Amino acid sequence: MSESNDVVMTTSQTSESDPLMILPSNVVQEGDHVILVFGDGRQLFAQCLKKLRGKAPPVKINKRTYPTFNLVGLPYGTVVEVGSSKLHPLPEGEDVIPKYPDTNKKGDDSNEGNLEDAEATAADNTFPSIEQANDNRDLVDNNTSQQLQQRQVEKMRRTGMEGATIVDTLIENSASFQNKTEFSKAKYVARKQLKYQQRCRIVRCTPSSLCEAMFLKEPRKMLNLREDTLGQILSYSNVCAGSHVLVMDNCMGIVTGALAQRMGGYGKVFSIYPGQQPPYVDMIARFNLNFAENSSIKWVHVEDVFGTPQGETPTSAETEVDEEKADRELLEWPCPLQDHTRAHLEKMESEKEKRDFLARRCARFTRKLTRGTPGEAKEMLNARKCDSVVIATKHDPTQSLIELLPYLAPSSPFVVFCEYIEPLAECFRELQEQRLAINLRLSDTWMREYQVLPGRTHPSMNMSQSGGFVLTGIKLCPVTGINDLDEEIMKEIKEKMGGRRGKKSSNKKKGGKRGRNDAGGDGERGQKSRRVEGK
């Protein structure tokens, strides 16, 4: 680091040791949060820990807790099978829905041949054959085709029999299995496998996977923010490495975390929080952010943005002392021992005890040394205009946005998310009337997943109907963006010009007049009416 405060770094100078160049590891690290995605679509959060040390149990599957120490070191994307007491990692190539029958164990693959054949011939054919040898004409649906009793199945499970064996036994004892169509055979097998041979895939926590899992689990807690809406927020806010983003996040920190991850440790995410200390620690931990990403999140207190409640006097900037900052500046790496600490240490008997004490002390000091204060965050926020504003809040969106807009640089985008449309309609109207922004768009998305299989392609039977609404726009320059005064000046200019240009414009007068009518007195209104015509 050189003496001057600002050093322009050219993009070609990429230092090899730059920690921001290191992409997240492809192998599960100690302490990583992961998502376990099951064949039936269930998604569970797990933390991979070697030692528990009084932490919450790492993962709970079917009301049973499982240790996760053996997941550390596995590559992401590995499939594990849920055993009776352990998660068994499976070799590469296995899927969450096992192949049937398991070719690794059995020589007999006549059945698989059938299934594969059906798919293979279909794949080669542009018009895949969906004609089947069997159909449902003789199916008697009286729930007696399974010869095994429920008790016998339970016993097999209790004795710790392998899932694959149970599935095989079930199929052997099913009277109607052989008369099913190939497709419904596959479906039957998959259904039994999902129940008796549970498998899941270790998926990295990314904004998309995390938001999807949370949306399945507790959508209400995050204002029904569906993952595709989060994706749009990230794009439309135009964030990139090095941006300053001001975010108001009541979606459990998902928006803040996703922004920090998208910016990769460059730039600053100013996240507004109320209360005593930064919230959503648990959710942000799930992003597995590295040090740079974590420290790019600057927590700004609501008081420093919206002010104090009416009647209370705000603390003036001159009298306020940033105690936390002063405290930090007293520290010096590597924190030499003070006399009483030294004395305390020397009283300790074993070396291990001393080392443990020092490790704890140093960890505490390092954390303190690298942590910014809310006061500093406020200074940074006021030092430069932000490149975008993101609002996903349970508070009034209109008022929040109007109060945050002064922090936004002109011609920069803002995104307001709300689970209901009405508050955004009000916000839209307010921005139009005050002429604060253009390019306003109020939208939501329709997201649909498809089952794509030869001859059997169709949309999924269930889909989410709403993922929240998004209002986007671009802030106008408050001085030159609404220049009604400018009109006078422009007329003056034109009167002075006269001459050749005046002649030319008289030829085009017709066109000019039309132009005026089209653009209209008010940009937004003109825009809106044209959109109506256009659509």
Partner 1 sequence: MDFAQPLIESESVTTKSKIRHILVKPSENDDPPKLDDMLVEAANQAASNVFGNNNTDSSQYPERVIPQSEKIEENALVVIFESFDNLDFCYAKSGEIFNNRNGHFHHDDFIGKPYGSKIRSRNNQGYGFVFLLKPTPELWARSLKHRTQIVHELDASMIVFYLNLRPNMVVCESGTGSGALSHCIMRTIAPHGKLYTYEFNGMRAETARQEFAKNRVGHLVEVLHKDVCGKHGPGGFDRPQASVDAIVLDLPEPWAAVPHCGHILKPNARLASYSPCVEQAQRTIEELKKCGFHSIKTMEFRLKEHYVDEVEYDPPPREKRPRLPTHLGPTGKSNTGTKTATDAEAEKQEQEEEVTKGQPAATDQASSDNATAGSKRKKLLVTRPFAMMRGHTAFLTFCTAGNTPQPDPNQ
Query: CB of 119: closest distance to partner 1 in angstroms?
Result: 8
Burial class (CB in 10 A: 0-12, 13-18, 19+), 270: buried
What contacts 24+ positions apart, CB below 8 Å, involve 183-186? 183/118, 183/132, 183/456, 185/111, 185/115, 186/100, 186/115
Query: CB of 413: closest distance to partner 1 in angstroms?
Result: 7
Q: Which residue lies nearer to partner 1 by CB, 317 or 359?
A: 359
Tokens representing 403 are 């109060």
Q: Which residue lies nearer to partner 1 by CB, 187 or 355?
A: 355
Residues in Cβ contact with 441 at an 8 Å cutoff, skipping those fewer than 6 apart: 471, 472, 473
Asked if 37 and 43 touch (Cβ cutoff 8 Å), the reply is yes
DSSP bridge pairs for 273? 301
**Beta strand 244-249 pairing with 199-204:** unpaired
Backbone phi, then psi, for 280, in 5-degree steps?
55, 35
Asked if 202 and 36 touch (Cβ cutoff 8 Å), the reply is yes
Q: Which residue lies nearer to partner 1 by CB, 178 or 235?
A: 235
Burial class (CB in 10 A: 0-12, 13-18, 19+), 438: middle
Q: Which residue lies nearer to partner 1 by CB, 292 or 302?
A: 292
Query: CB of 101: closest distance to partner 1 in angstroms?
Result: 19
Query: CB of 151: closest distance to partner 1 in angstroms?
Result: 37
Q: Which residue lies nearer to partner 1 by CB, 156 or 269?
A: 269
Q: Which residue lies nearer to partner 1 by CB, 9 or 140?
A: 9
Query: CB of 137: closest distance to partner 1 in angstroms?
Result: 29
DSSP bridge pairs for 79? 201
Q: Which residue lies nearer to partner 1 by CB, 166 or 254?
A: 254
Radius of gyration of the chain (CA): 31
Query: CB of 13: closest distance to partner 1 in angstroms?
Result: 9
Query: CB of 462: closest distance to partner 1 in angstroms?
Result: 14
Angle between helices 351-369 and 323-330 (to 10 degrees): 130
